[in-house]
Amino acid sequence: MQTSPWRPNSGRAALVVLGLLLVLGLGIGGCGVSTYNGLVAGQERIDGKFSEIDNQYKRRNDLIPQLVSTIKGSTSFEEGVLVQVTEARASVGRLQAPSDPAAQAAYLEAQAELGGALGRLMLVAEAYPDLKSTAAFRDLQVQIEGTENRIAVARRDYIDSVQGYNTRLRKFPGNLVGGLLGMEKVPQLESATEAERAVPTIDFGGDE
Is residue 4, in this structure, part of any structural domain at all?
no
Instruction: Give pLDDT, residue 30.
Output: 65
Is residue 6, in this structure, part of any structural domain at all?
no
Instruction: Give pLDDT, residue 206.
Output: 44
pTM: 0.78
Domain that holds residue 88: 52-151+190-197
Is residue 202, in this structure, part of any structural domain at all?
no
Instruction: Give pLDDT, residue 40.
Output: 92
Is residue 62, in this structure, part of any structural domain at all?
yes
Give the model confidence (pLDDT) of 29-51 as tens digits. Answer: 667 788 888 999 999 999 999 99
Those residues with Cβ within 8 angstroms of residue 36's Cβ, 6 or more apart along the chain or in another chain:
177, 181
Is residue 13, in this structure, part of any structural domain at all?
no
Alpha carbon distance 171, 158 (integer Å): 20
Is residue 180, in this structure, part of any structural domain at all?
no
Asked whether the CA dihedral 122, 126, 129, 134 is positive or negative, the reply is: positive
How many beta carbons lie within 10 A of that of residue 136, not counting itself? Answer: 15
Instruction: Give pLDDT, residue 105.
Output: 81
> Count of domains in the chain?
1
Residue 133: CATH number of its domain: 1.20.1440.20
Instruction: Give pLDDT, residue 73.
Output: 81
Is residue 86, in this structure, part of any structural domain at all?
yes
Is residue 132, in this structure, part of any structural domain at all?
yes
Instruction: Give pLDDT, residue 208.
Output: 39
Instruction: Give pLDDT, residue 202.
Output: 40
Asked whether the CA dihedral 61, 66, 67, 71 is positive or negative, the reply is: positive
Spell out, as residue ranges, where the chain has pLDDT lower than 70: 1-10, 16-30, 98-99, 101-102, 191-208
